[in-house]
A and B are shown apart, each in its own frame.
Chain A
Amino acid sequence: MMAPEFFYAAVIVMIGAFLALLRVFFGPSVPDRVVGVDTLNTLIVAGMVLLGAAYDRTIYIDIAIVYALLSYVGTLAIAKYLQGGLE
């Protein structure tokens, strides 16, 4: 724990992730909830990078790379499903 400013930044990013979670809970339509999940994914990647810098661990940042690519694939799959399947 060498850099406390990265911890404070991670806490504020998690507050933003909570606000995005409210959109997932109260979203009136299905694409609203998916937009909330997409925002949540990007905020979690940012939080992983911040925590990796704060704890000086490389492995957290590798997990952030994998999470970014997998969340992209998940968003594309849900979008394909919403528009009515493969064409």
Chain B
Amino acid sequence: MIEWLIGIFLAIGVIFNLLASVGLLRFPDVYTRIHAATKCTTFGTIFIVLATVTYAIYSYFWVEKDPSWITIGIHSALVVIFLVLTNPVGAHALGRAARKSGILPHGAVIDELEGRL
């Protein structure tokens, strides 16, 4: 039962990480690549860490009462908290830097930042 839950979480996380890489190769300009890569990798890593936390809880309560399982679960949760807080900020800084260095979006119709940078 709980092995199925871990497998479903892992499958969702891995598929979204792969979709991020495919989007990075397939999209035409840097802004759409940021769009694909940041959101898909953050979401996929959330689900990978959910699988790890589920595995740690299962191993602590049903396999052996080893406190290192609690450490693995809490530190995995810390990883995903830091990643969720820092990943969108990094993507924002990167897109802003790309626009300020003069790269226009591919096929853009309007540009509201024209002359305001």
What chain B residues lie within 8 Å of A31 (beta carbons)?
30, 94, 97-98, 101, 103
A38: nearest residue on chain B (CB-CB)?
B90
Which one, A50, A56, A62, A82, contacts B98 given CB within 8 A? A82
Identify whether the interface residues of A are mostly helix, strand, loop, or mixed: helix
A74: nearest residue on chain B (CB-CB)?
B90
Give the number of chain A interface residues (Cβ < 8 Å). 48
A68 and B82 contact, Cβ closer than 8 Å, known pairs A19-B22, A20-B21, A31-B94: yes
A56 and B68 contact, Cβ closer than 8 Å, known pairs A29-B103, A31-B103: yes
Give the number of chain B interface residues (Cβ < 8 Å). 49
Nearest CB on A from B25, distance (A): 6
- Which interface residue of A6, A16, A38, A65 has the most chain B CB atoms within 10 A? A16
Q: Are B21 and A16 in contact (CB under 8 A)?
A: yes
What chain A residues lie within 8 Å of B78 (beta carbons)?
65
A-to-B contact residues, CB < 8 Å: 3, 5-6, 9, 12-13, 15-17, 19-20, 22-23, 29-32, 34-36, 38-39, 42-43, 45-46, 49-50, 52-53, 56, 58, 61-62, 64-65, 68-69, 72, 75-76, 78-84
